Amino acid sequence: MRKEVLIFGRGGQGILLMGHVIGVAAAKHAGLYVTSTESYSSEMRGGESRSDLIIADSEEELDYVKVRNATDVIAMYPPRLGLYEHLIGEGALVQFDTSFNIPKDTLRPSWVKVGAPYTRIAEEELGTPRVANMVALGHFVRLTNFLGLEAVEAAIEEVVKKRWIEINKKALRRGYDLGGVEESLLR
Amino acid sequence: MARVEFINANLAIAEGVMAAGLRFFAGYPITPTSDLFEYLAVELPKRGGVVIQFEDEIASINAVIGASWGGAPAMTATSGPGFSLMLEGLSFAIMTETPLLLAYIMRADPSTGVPTKSTQADVFQARYGAHGNYEIPALVPWSAQEAYELGAKALWVAERLRVPTILLSDATLAHTFERVEFVPVRRAERKKPRVPPEEYRPYEPEDDLVPPMASFGEGYNVMVESLTHDERGYYAPTNEAHRRLIWRLVEKVRRNWRLIHDTKTYYMDDAEVAIYAYGSTARAAYAAVKELRREGLKVGLVRPTALWPFIDEDLKRAVGGARRVFVVENNIGLMYKEVARALRDKEVVSAPLIDLELPTPDQIIEVVKEWRR
Amino acid sequence: MEAVRRLRKHPLDGLLRPERLPHLWCPGCGLGIALGAILRAVKRRIEEGYLQREKTAFIGGIGCSARASLYVDFDSAHTVHGRAIPFATGLKAVRPDMKVIVIGGDGDIAGIGGNHLMHAARRNIDLLVIMMNNMVYAMTGGQLAPTTPTGLYTTTTPYGNPERPINVVKLVATMGANYVARAAVTHPPLIERYVYKALGKKGFAFIEVISTCPEVFGRHIGMRDAVDLLNALRERVVVKQRPHIDESYYEWEGGKFVLGEYVDKDDPSYLERIGVIKG
């Protein structure tokens, strides 16, 4: 198994935290090998924010530290898809936050396009858009099925500040309940 | 199983050196090194060690030297500008055969450059930066896991050979988080005197050219002498004493290279073309090699885990029957000079790819294919 | 060596490395007077059981004064120029059971090493720093020092020093050292008394010893004769019980060198604050 996961969005959406939680879950709680880099522009909010993760079940499968042919993508801010399109492989599972516009022209036919309005769900059901990232992450766990929900919960408990743990876990489970690929396909 | 964490190479270095027995850290904040310093500031005192922030890098390395003579495995960490300030102290440590570890996290290019970004511009600075004739080891990790292991090993080498040792990492690795398993490592230990104080001579080597080292406070009345000195540590400005000392300082490292080196090879058994790469750039090269193999090209990777001392015979063994060698590095083509000199009978091609992020596998693939035509 | 062996017993026998003698200090130099007084104080502390010989270290940088660390038969270090204090700080941090003494000249300690001096005093690290001040760069042949009084001639100020000398006593006091005193080679018992006292202090202790360098300093101001120079210094020296810090500035022409204990307090030391030693 070898996954190249690309998460991108805007500053303030908690992109780097998503990457870190996946990394901790994979490395410490799922027995997988992980390499991760992150990049962000200096503005705290609204700038570029991107997390790259290479996840494999053997160390030999890790090489270059950045995503080249993403197998799994979380587009937390789809309007910027064009900036990352060249990094996404054929047949990739691309997961969109449908609270935003999706640039239809950029989509490739081979991709499996899934998603849900993570930001809206977070806002309306959980009371804050700040946990949209965890809703998306819960959905990611369900869609990709290579990290156990328990592993990700354990990572959240380790990484997130104590008073935010419960709401984050709640958001995670909400995302998980959004269903598998079949139920989540974009039309 | 050993503890596993998801951490970057800087923190992995910190964990590795603590596992090897680090007891003292002195430093001055500098990007991209400070998280290593901050992490040790939290963790080392819990294990009985001391961490001090000094007024500059000059003080930092000299404090490390003092602590080392106090018997403590000791280190500092810095980047290019700070290393430039440390060179005088490094030369002093070389002359006085003071064990210390210097974690050197390379960033981009002269002066302030791009502090948060990476290159491999300082591989010669690590070798030749200080004044005087000398040879010191420089180990070069390519992952966070290896940063843990080579950090521990570099501290061990420093103590074992009584030599300042450099761990040469870079900003890319400093910002790369990976699964790191805290595997057991060797404790860093120096050879202690086996004779009573009245017979002890602090610079008298054994067969391996390394003198046993008495620390301060042990009753040996040791003499730390920065001047050219004889085996007692007394100033000896004669040709004979000077040659004897300088050649021993150099040969001590060269002859014991097997304690330092562990050159790795990948897909080299039947390789006709080899890529020589080190550190973070080797990660891109490894990806390129795999891809070229899938296309049927007989390409392999040679990856030194220590750049210095440069051992020709070790490189020749690793390169084996490959006819052409590409030296891929994130600088203007520095190690190429050494590789080309060592492999005079082969076609050695320099591929200098200066990139603030990291050369990409595609760039490397392009270079190799270009030469195939 | 033969000459050394034939010497009769000296009170400081066993504290020096006779095989390193003769020393490099010129005839008439004040440094030997100072080292003798320092070692007498150390010897007393050892005889009283307060210091242990094998747990006492001497650290020097580069310069005539720093050479003292090579002549004493203790754990000792001849470090690079200006860096004796950082070396000593690292040593003391991992060997809090040791007494670490730095001896250096004014150029070594207050010139190239001035930043380290300032921060070591601010840190109140448990060291004794003895700065021999001969007001000139002697080993390199008589160049300007940061301590050279205004107007005096050196090889690099052939028209007279246009700068003011650094007031190291005041600097170190301002930075918060626990003990700051000034002595001079004209009054060896004072050196001994201050060193003896400073050896019992926690935190940063600093003693400036005004010394004479007839060969290099004296030569350029027309006082090549050792006795003349010593007398010239004696005329300018004033001893006070507890001088005020504002009395510490000196000049050569019409000025005074006020000797005495400027600071003597017991603020928590660095090693106490980090819990390495108990307060």
Q: Which CATH class is domain A2-184?
A: alpha beta
| CA distance to B46, B229, C2, C4, C19, per residue, from C16 (Å) | 40, 19, 16, 12, 9
CB pairs under 8 A between B and C: 127
B64 touches C: beta carbon within 8 Å? yes
**Pair A84, A103: CB distance under 8 Å:** no
CB of A28 within 8 Å of a chain B CB? The answer is yes
B354 closest CA partner among B113, B110, B118, B169? B118
Residue B1 confidence (pLDDT): 79
Residue C232: which residues within 8 A CB-CB, separation 6 or more? Answer: C223
Closest by CA position to A65, among listed B328, B362, B175: B175
Q: Percent of chain B beyond pLDDT 70?
A: 100
Residue in chain A closest to B289 (alpha carbons) equals A63
Calculate the alpha carbon distances from C244 to B154, C180, C263 in Å: 52, 12, 9
Distance CA B95, CA B223 (A): 12
Beta pairing class for B347-352 and B164-170? unpaired
CB distance A65 to A38 below 8 Å: no
Q: What is the pTM of this model?
A: 0.96
Residue from the list B4, B145, B283 with its beta carbon closest to the beta carbon of A63: B283
pLDDT (average), residues B306-312:
98
Identify the three-state secondary structure at position C101: strand
**Does residue B6 sit in helix, strand or coil?**
strand
Q: What whole-number distance in Å separates Cα of residue B372 and Cα of residue C186?
A: 83
Q: Does C73 touch chain B (CB under 8 A)?
A: yes
Domains, chain B, ordered by start: 1-260 (3.40.50.970), 264-372 (3.40.50.920)
- CB-CB contact of B96 with B225 (8 Å): yes
Q: Name the residue ranges covered by the structural domains of chain C.
A: 27-273
Contact in structure between C181 and C192 (CB atoms under 8 Å): no
Q: Are B139 and B305 in contact (CB under 8 A)?
A: yes
B122-142 residue pLDDT tens? 999 999 999 999 999 999 999
CA distances from residue C14 to C39, C65, C188, C233 in whole angstroms, order as listed: 11, 20, 21, 32
Reported confidence tier of residue C18, pLDDT bands at 50, 70, 90? confident
The residue of chain A nearest to residue B5, with distances taken between CA atoms, is: A28
Is residue B300 within 8 A of residue B322, CB to CB? The reply is yes
C2 pLDDT band (50/70/90 cuts)?
Answer: low
State how far residue C213 is from chain B, nearest Cα, in angstroms: 24
Residues of B in contact with A36 (CB under 8 A): 6, 176-178
Cβ-nearest to B58 among C73, C83, C93: C83
- Select from C95, C115, C118 the Cβ nearest to the Cβ of B216: C95
pLDDT value at residue A44: 54
**Tokens found for residue B162:** 């009584």
Inter-chain touch B6–A23, beta carbons under 8 Å = yes
Which tens digit of pLDDT belongs to each residue from B225-259? Answer: 999 999 999 999 999 999 999 999 999 999 999 99
| Residue B32 contacts C where some CB pair is shorter than 8 Å | no
Are B6 and A65 within 8 A, CB to CB? no
Residues of chain A predicted below pLDDT 70: 41-46
User: Apex CA C130: angle with CA C126 and CA C131, to 5°?
Assistant: 130
User: Mapping DSSP to helix (H, G, I), strand (E, B) and coil, where does residue B162 land?
Assistant: coil
- A35 φ, ψ to 5°? -125, 135
To the nearest whole Å, the CA of B344 is away from the closest chain C CA by: 41
Q: Is B218 on the interface with C (CB under 8 A)?
A: yes
The ipTM of this complex is: 0.95
A114 near A95, Cβ under 8 Å?
Answer: yes
Any alpha helices (H) in chain B, and if so which ranges? 9-19, 34-43, 57-69, 80-95, 123-128, 144-161, 171-174, 239-255, 279-294, 312-319, 335-342, 361-372
Q: Amino acid identity of B25?
A: F
Task: Return the bridge partners of B106, or none.
Answer: B170
Residue among B6, B175, B360 whose CB faces A34 most closely: B6
3 state SS of B227: coil
Taking contacts as CB-CB distances below 8 angstroms, the residues of chain B near A33 are 178-179
With a cut of 70, say whether residue C3 has pLDDT above it. no
Q: For the domain bounded by C27-273, which CATH number is listed?
A: 3.40.50.970
Q: Which residue, C158, C274, C153, C171, is CA-closest to C219?
A: C153
Q: Give the gap in angstroms from C-alpha B54 to the nearest C-alpha of chain C.
A: 8
| For residues C236-262, average pLDDT | 96
- Does C26 touch chain B if contact means CB atoms closer than 8 Å? no
Nearest residue of chain A to residue B286 (CA atoms): A63
Nearest residue to C17 (alpha-carbon basis) of C48, C39, C50, C34: C39
Nearest CA in chain B to A159: B6
Written as six digits, the tokens of B141 are 């990790």
Taking the Cβ of residue B56 and every Cβ of chain C, the question of whether any pair is shorter than 8 Å is answered with yes
SS3 C36: helix
Domain chopping of chain A, boundaries: 2-184
CA dist B220 and B226 (Å) reads: 18
Confidence of residue C19 (pLDDT cuts 50, 70, 90): confident
Task: Specify the DSSP class assigned to residue C62.
Answer: S
> What residue of B is the nearest CA neighbor of A59?
B179
Task: Determine the residue of chain B that is closest to C276 in CA distance.
Answer: B50
Put the strands of the sheet holding B164-170 in their side by side order: B50-53, B24-27, B74-78, B100-106, B164-170, B138-139, B306-308
Helix (H, G, I), strand (E, B) or coil at B329: strand
Residues 43 to 82 of A: which have CB under 8 A from any B CB? 59, 62-66, 68
Show residues of chain A in contact with B6, CB under 8 Å.
20, 23-24, 26-28, 34, 36
Q: What one-character-per-residue DSSP string does B242-293 give?
A: HHHHHHHHHHHHHHTGGGT---EEES-TT-SEEEE--HHHHHHHHHHHHHHH
First-to-last C-alpha distance (Å) of chain B: 49
Name the DSSP class of A178.
T
Query: Is B217 within 8 Å of C89 when comparing Cβ atoms?
Result: no
Sorting pLDDT into bands at 50, 70 and 90, what band is B156?
Answer: very high
Contact C90 B71 (CB under 8 A): no
Asked if C116's CB is within 8 angstroms of B59's CB, the reply is: yes
Dist. CA B59–CA B55, nearest whole Å: 7
pLDDT attached to residue B230: 95
pLDDT digits (tens, 9 = 90+) for A169-185: 999 999 999 999 999 99
Mark residue C241 as left, alpha or beta (left: phi above 0; alpha: psi -120 to 50; beta: remaining). Answer: alpha
Average pLDDT value over all residues in chain C? 95
Q: What is the mean pLDDT of residues B82-86?
A: 98
Cβ distance C75 to B62 less than 8 Å, yes or no, reads no
Task: Tell me which chains share at least 3 CB pairs under 8 Å with chain A.
Answer: B
Task: Read off the amino acid at residue B111.
Answer: S
* Average pLDDT, integer, range B210-231: 96
